[in-house]
Structure 1
């Protein structure tokens, strides 16, 4: 795997742009399962285009080859309703697990280094275009030099400049603290997926999210589904309130933080940007509209692309089925209009649907009869009314053009939580 000065021109079978979850996953699958092909992974150098360390979570059945990058996993899941009652479920044989981006990068880079024909280049891709025999990528190297890549196929995971037109567009936005408590406060066998015991914003919904790493360590997040992100100060106030008043952590240290925005939209993401240029990851529609989960879909998409290339075809299959996207569109619209109460909706699903079936449903892996059984445990009237109006709603461009983004901050000095401040409601347009 090349780490020295980049040449001025490189010819390859496949070029993968971007070294986030989608780019790393696809480069890994191609190097592993498509022997005899040269694969170039282009990642941006250190700077504003290179995302900081972040976490990816998903549920999985058994072990797989990503196991060495797994930071933690949980056999049980818990949801706290707004009324304070908790439901704890065991989704066996599924487990929920966390992967830190730095660990995933190390794993994939090690495997690329061992794969003949795999190459990692650090450069900023500025132009991608079709050519007579494939595609060309024009890049700028870290020292300012020009680099031209030619390939039979290019797979682009870089964020889109604007989200596609949609009938409904919400954002899942959050800030999380990696905390260490002075005394044991967490149960490492249970992950809190949604804790609605936080003050709800005027529009949308909010919840806490707790992933224990040890009895005295956890990732604690405050998350909202709404149209507009909060200021960092508002997230911090919400996290202080959650940690002190709801979780009652006592004294704790914030060791690091992460912050991000994930699109939740029923817009149609084109998976092709040219004859030989394809979009993958969030840019190719891999983010599940109603949940924001992306990592599992990226793995499915990467395996499918690798299988197609191995068979002599180039294609990026839909990361989610039509039924899943249709159901998500209904739920997004119902949440956006306020026809369903978000905290009650999600809490009731975990209380009334078998956990393993519900997680497969959220991942798009259920049959039509199973989907009917889940649908009957939702507010049927509001959901049906929403489904009937969707075909008549126009798709429009929204003002928010940013796609998935994550920021991290360095460790902070040890502190005890200050007096709580109530979370601030989203600014900008109302969301119900």
Structure 2
């Protein structure tokens, strides 16, 4: 048999690919195993902002640009203060992450970066076929999402889509100690949508208008809602936009795991690593990478037991509810945040709760649609 070019090929140098490569590079078990990261982009811009909650200090604190210990949940009828301790809510810019990981990996004798776009992986010849060259390996970690997940009739798909702008004002308008998790005062038809605010200083904040919907929308809708929120809710007349970002995150119960084979493991969004019911990915990726590495070192298939079937079912039911009755979003999230402590919410979303705690949370959300969705997903 011809010796492969690489021990591993990581297809994609985004969040999942770089976290995986960094963890491999720091583990002596993989010393001497040649690894290629094949990515078409230079990853030289801040293409997204990741946020996550965490207890105490974490492994990424040196990259975190902002963190909060207090938050708010707001509707037209109420404001719920969120005291996060012992958690904090942390913000990390993607460019800081890319630069940090690439700087460390470029000093590695075992890992190389290749600028190319992989179009296919031939599992018979164990070859990743690129636009510029081909790459053979013993195993591939592939972050390219399958093309058919959006059209799978058995799966629910809710898109978390948003536009955020960082604004600067002449006067002080923000409390930099308190972020806004969800503010439902600006609405759009019969859909689940809210405003999200990360205050960076007294006169600077990232403001995002976010949808959790089965449909997408035009850019002008985000712009109008952001303008309406800033003018009517924040009462800010004069401001300057200093940065902006847009994103579409699929929240789905599509069975991405079915694409994992003896020679290919799907990672990141392509592996179903985005938490289906929330759209959060950063800490979820860290957890999946650690489990994947443990599996390899134990002689198991890399994708073994990466997911909790119980929590996958919870997510699937919740997504089905939002897909069938998207108008219920504000009501459901209001129950979620007002009838449960923020600590229990974080633990539930981190899949660390017991069944009795999960039952309490599910009962707090009750609506007849949940029963219909339960039987639709069993």
Normalised by the size of structure 2, how large is the TM-score?
0.92
**1:242, 1:340 → 2: CA distance?**
20
Gap change, CA 1:42 and 1:112, over 3 Å in 2: same
User: Contact 1:333–1:386 (CA<8 Å) still a contact in 2?
Assistant: yes
**2:273, 2:8 → 1: CA distance?**
20
Gap change, CA 1:365 and 1:253, over 3 Å in 2: same
Match of 1:162 among 134, 148, 152: 148
* 2:62 match: secondary structure: helix
Match of 1:35 among 30, 38, 63: 30
**1:334, 1:147 → 2: CA distance?**
45
**2:36, 2:255 → 1: CA distance?**
28
Shift of 1:160: 2.6
* 1:229 match: secondary structure: coil
Shift of 1:335: 2.2
User: Contact 1:340–1:382 (CA<8 Å) still a contact in 2?
Assistant: no
* Residue in 1 that maps onto 2:241: 254
Kindly tell me the number of residue pairs found equivalent between the two proteins: 372
Uncovered stretches (5+) of structure 1, i.e. residues with no partner:
1-8, 141-145, 392-432
Select the structure with the greater relative contact order (CA < 8 A; seq sep ≥ 6): 1
Is 1:315 paired with 2:315? no
Shift of 1:176: 0.5
* Residue in 1 that maps onto 2:57: 63
Shift of 1:66: 1.7
Shift of 1:153: 1.1
Shift of 1:167: 3.9
Gap change, CA 1:79 and 1:376, over 3 Å in 2: same
**2:303, 2:190 → 1: CA distance?**
36
Query: Comparing both structures, which one devotes a greater share of its residues to helix?
Result: 2
User: Contact 1:137–1:148 (CA<8 Å) still a contact in 2?
Assistant: yes
* 1:70 match: secondary structure: coil
Match of 1:377 among 364, 374, 377: 364
User: Contact 1:10–1:148 (CA<8 Å) still a contact in 2?
Assistant: no
User: Contact 2:174–2:205 (CA<8 Å) still a contact in 1?
Assistant: yes
**1:274, 1:326 → 2: CA distance?**
23
**1:307, 1:51 → 2: CA distance?**
32
**1:183, 1:220 → 2: CA distance?**
17
Normalised by the size of structure 1, how large is the TM-score?
0.81
**1:369, 1:176 → 2: CA distance?**
38
Shift of 1:286: 1.0
Gap change, CA 1:131 and 1:260, over 3 Å in 2: same
Uncovered stretches (5+) of structure 2, i.e. residues with no partner:
none
Gap change, CA 1:275 and 1:305, over 3 Å in 2: same
Gap change, CA 1:139 and 1:231, over 3 Å in 2: same
User: Contact 1:280–1:316 (CA<8 Å) still a contact in 2?
Assistant: no
Please list, as runs of the form range in 1=range in 2, the aligned pairs for 1:10-409 lying within 5 A after superposition.
11-33=5-27, 34-36=29-31, 37-45=33-41, 53-83=47-77, 85-131=78-124, 135-140=126-131, 146-163=132-149, 165=152, 166-199=154-187, 201-270=188-257, 272-317=259-304, 319-338=306-325, 341-391=328-378
**2:135, 2:71 → 1: CA distance?**
46
Shift of 1:51: 8.3
Shift of 1:139: 2.0
